[in-house]
Amino acid sequence: MGVRRYSPYYGANVERKPVRFVYPRLENLIFVGLLAFGITACSSDENEEAPAAAPEVVSEVEEVNAEPADPETFPDIVAIVNGVEIPKTELLERIAGADAQKGGSPGPKTVAYYREILDQLVGAELLYQACRDRDMLVTSADVDRELDKLKSRFPQPDRFEQSLEAQGMTLEKLRTEMRRNLSIQKFIETDIASQVSVSTEDVRRFYDETQDQMRHPEQLRLSHILKSVDPEATTEERATALTAIEDVLLEASSGADFAALAREHSEDLGSAQNGGELTVTRGQTAPPFEQAAFALEPGGLSPVVETQFGYHIIKLLERIEGQLIPYEDVQAQIEQGLKQEAIQSRMQQAIASLKESGEVELFIE
């Protein structure tokens, strides 16, 4: 039986990057229709900036012990917004897009979940009607420019057409979706985002009050040796691998150069030629590996550690304590996050106002 090569960590050496702050997402609606129908493509340039993200549609409604809903029991029209009907098919298409975004298999969903997604559709319809009433709809030329950008992300022109056909989407329907979403984006930028500003004092206050988030995580610079074990290995094969790694541990404990041993014996192709050296943080390695590594003192050597990848020996080279990120390094990031949060809040207020002044009927109880 051939031995497959595994790695005990999820990636190569980890750069010391600032932590990622979590803010409520600004609902950028440009590509809602595209993602809802799965119209996506791989760019030929990996460094090319990706298109604007669709709004977050992952439900935050608590669904523990809630009964799943059967959409077959929903009426054909699930909402009416100022006389405009929202069909059940549109709701189900939006949810299918949400499932695709999450990359998971669709599971049972509660009425609360369907209502949450329906509220998003109602909000988008209200914003679109506001665009129309204020003569803020984008032009055909605007749609053409964005459509050309989308097409350029497909390696060949026929791939774009094949993607449309596979999703049951016509070019005309796609243009309609894009016009709606671009118009809503224009409304958000013109009537909402332009009115939002964040002061330096606000940014500094956020930094000072959330310094637990403003730290580089603790890191370990270590070296390790792996003897791979196939998941389907026999007991005899596992015993052979264990004996081999124990022999290497004996050499390392006797003072042999650990990096040289790693280059000679380690079966981790990602680090062996580098003397087995890695830089890791918590959460990046298999749990038994992490537990053993973080228990070591610099210069310390672990006993044999078993993970799903095989058997390891770990030597800790350096413990890099978590450090506070300088204010200047995150100032722009915090400002952008606070601005998005404020825009999100104002947009929800605008939608609430449009609901109050209009007529909205929902038919999912």
More confident residue, 101 or 320: 320
Domain with CATH 1.10.4030.10 in the chain: 32-199+330-362
State the Cα–Cα distance between residues 56 and 27, nearest whole angstrom.
7
Give strand ranges (E) for 31-166.
77-81, 84-87
Q: pLDDT averaged over the chain?
A: 82
Q: Of the given ranges (3-7, 123-127, 344-348), which has the lowest mean pLDDT?
A: 3-7
Residue in the block written with tokens 């081999």: 244
Residue in the block written with tokens 């044999």: 304
State the Cα–Cα distance between residues 304 and 21, nearest whole angstrom.
37
Query: What is the share, in percent, of the chain residues with pLDDT greater than 70?
Result: 80
CA-to-CA dists, residue 122 to 125, 172, 321, angstroms: 5, 23, 49
Q: What is the mean pLDDT of residues 50-62?
A: 38
Q: For domain 32-199+330-362, give the CATH number.
A: 1.10.4030.10
State the pLDDT at residue 68. 86
Say yes or no to pLDDT of 238 above 70: yes
Whether 241 contacts 310, CB under 8 Å: yes
Residue 337 pLDDT class (50, 70, 90 cuts): very high
Tens digits of residue pLDDT in 135-161: 999 999 999 999 999 999 888 888 888
Residue 103 pLDDT class (50, 70, 90 cuts): low
Instruction: Judge if pTM exceeds 0.75.
Output: no
Q: For domain 219-320, give the CATH number.
A: 3.10.50.40
Domain with CATH 3.10.50.40 in the chain: 219-320
Q: Of the given ranges (27-36, 210-219, 292-301), which has the lowest mean pLDDT?
A: 27-36
Residue 106 pLDDT class (50, 70, 90 cuts): low
Say yes or no to pLDDT of 4 above 70: no
State the pLDDT at residue 56. 39
Tens digits of residue pLDDT in 68-90: 889 999 999 999 999 999 999 99
Residue 351 pLDDT class (50, 70, 90 cuts): very high
Output phi, psi for 286, to 5 deg: -60, 140
How does DSSP classify residue 104?
Answer: S
State the pLDDT at residue 20. 39
State the Cα–Cα distance between residues 181 and 156, nearest whole angstrom.
25
State the pLDDT at residue 216. 86
Residue 101 pLDDT class (50, 70, 90 cuts): low
